[in-house]
Every structure is written in structure tokens, then in C-alpha cells.
């Protein structure tokens, strides 16, 4: 049997912030890599991590996606007549 691992946003954020438990998350990720097993994460948890990165570490998001949303230029649509 090939057990699957599910990561939540708390684990990912602990890893990214080098908080308590970061070493365990690193070991889980390394074991999954070595065993060629995917790690699972819910869409909600992905959104929470992304939101954290946009607010606290926008440089990480910029490196992956380009300019941060705070720098995106937007235009207002012309009012309907």
C-alpha cells in the first residue's frame, strides 16, 4: 500500500517561516520526493498559502508570477450610457 500525505496550509507556512515543525514538513516532502509520491493539498489550503505570500512575502510571488497584484495596473470600465 502506498500511503498518501495531505499537507495543510499550517504545515506549509511553518516550513516557509522556519517555525516549529518545519523540519518534519521537510522530511515529509523529501520522503515523498524520494518515493516519487505526490503530496496532496486542498485548493483552500493553496489559496491560504498564496494569500499569505502575497501579503507577507510578495517577492516570492513576483519571482514565480511576475509583478505582485499591488503593482498591477487596472482601468475602470467606461459607464454604460
Domain span at residue 14? Answer: 5-68
Q: What is the pTM assigned to this prediction?
A: 0.63
Please say if the pLDDT value at position 1 is more than 70: no
Q: Say if 36 falls within a structural domain.
A: yes
Comparison of pLDDT for 11 and 53, the residue scoring more: 11
pLDDT at 22: 92
Q: pLDDT per residue over 20-67, tens digit each?
A: 999 999 999 999 999 988 888 888 988 898 888 888 776 666 655 555
* Cell representation of residue 44: 483552500
Q: Say if 12 falls within a structural domain.
A: yes
Q: How many domains does the chain have?
A: 1
pLDDT at 66: 54
Q: How far apart are CA 22 and CA 11, in angstroms?
A: 7
Q: Say if 76 falls within a structural domain.
A: no
Q: How far apart are CA 22 and CA 44, in angstroms?
A: 21
Amino acid at each position: 500500500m502506498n500511503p498518501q500525505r495531505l499537507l495543510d496550509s499550517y504545515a506549509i507556512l511553518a516550513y516557509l517561516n522556519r517555525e516549529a515543525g518545519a523540519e518534519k514538513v521537510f522530511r515529509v516532502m523529501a520522503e515523498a520526493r524520494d518515493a516519487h509520491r505526490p503530496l496532496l493539498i486542498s485548493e483552500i489550503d493553496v489559496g491560504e498559502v498564496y494569500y499569505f505570500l502575497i501579503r507577507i512575502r510578495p517577492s516570492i510571488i513576483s519571482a514565480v508570477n511576475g509583478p505582485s497584484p499591488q503593482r498591477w495596473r487596472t482601468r475602470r470600465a467606461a459607464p454604460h450610457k
